[in-house]
Amino acid sequence: MTHSPEDMATSGRVAGIDYGTVRIGIAVSDPNRTIASPYENYTRRGRDHDARRFRRLVEEERIQLFVVGLPVHLDGRESEKSREARQFGQWIETTTGVPVAYFDERFTSAEAERFLLDAQLTKKRRRQRLDMLAAQIMLSAYLESRGKGRLPPEPLED
């Protein structure tokens, strides 16, 4: 079941998911949904183990919403990987009871790779960080797209 963002609470932590068949990049927002931080690259280990991991993530981080990135074609059409990501989103919602939204993740992996290359990390270190950084980039874009219409932040006290 896909929820529209209007149906979901507007506060509480969000987990961004960069879906992969072997590894899943995870990023998590702050409770006010203003900052996304890389969280983990999770290596899949089978449905039962994966279910335990995502239930624990929901419990430990108090996740209120998952945002699963959809890898779409340049023209906006969904790809086979998009369909797999949607199936994963349905599974994670059923498994955890937490609603799922979907968001276009075009170019996030390429952007993450460029960032890691600019940081002059070794190939091994780039591989260790790529998926969760892509998840962070996608989640940041999602949060920014939903931020319109929010009240401006409170002024800082001196």
For position 114, what pLDDT does the model report?
Answer: 62
Tell me the pLDDT band of 79, cut-offs 50, 70 and 90: confident
54: exposed, middle or buried (C-beta count within 10 Å: 0-12, 13-18, 19+)? Answer: buried
Mean pLDDT is lowest, of 21-25, 31-35, 63-67, 129-133, for 129-133
Annotate the chain with three-state secondary structure.
CCCCHHHCCCCCEEEEEECCCCEEEEEEECCCCCCEEEEEEEECCCHHHHHHHHHHHHHHHCEEEEEEEECECCCCCECHHHHHHHHHHHHHHHHHCCCEEEEECCCHHHHHHHHHHHCCCCHHHHHHHHHHHHHHHHHHHHHHHHCCCCCCCCCCCC
**Is domain 9-146 classified as CATH 3.40.50.150?**
no
Residue 151: its pLDDT value, please?
A: 43
Is the sign of the CA dihedral 96, 98, 99, 100 positive or negative?
Answer: negative
Mean pLDDT for 103-131 is 62
The structure's pTM equals 0.77
Has residue 80 got a pLDDT over 50?
yes
Mean pLDDT, the chain, whole residue set: 81
Token duo for residue 11: 């506060």
pLDDT band at 129 (very low <50, low <70, confident <90, very high): low
Tell whether the model's pLDDT for residue 51 goes beyond 70. yes
Residue length of the chain: 158
Backbone φ, ψ for residue 16 (5° rounding): -90, 135
Per-residue confidence band for 126, with pLDDT thresholds at 50, 70 and 90:
low
Q: Model confidence at 120, in pLDDT bands (50, 70, 90)?
A: low
pLDDT at 57 over 70: yes
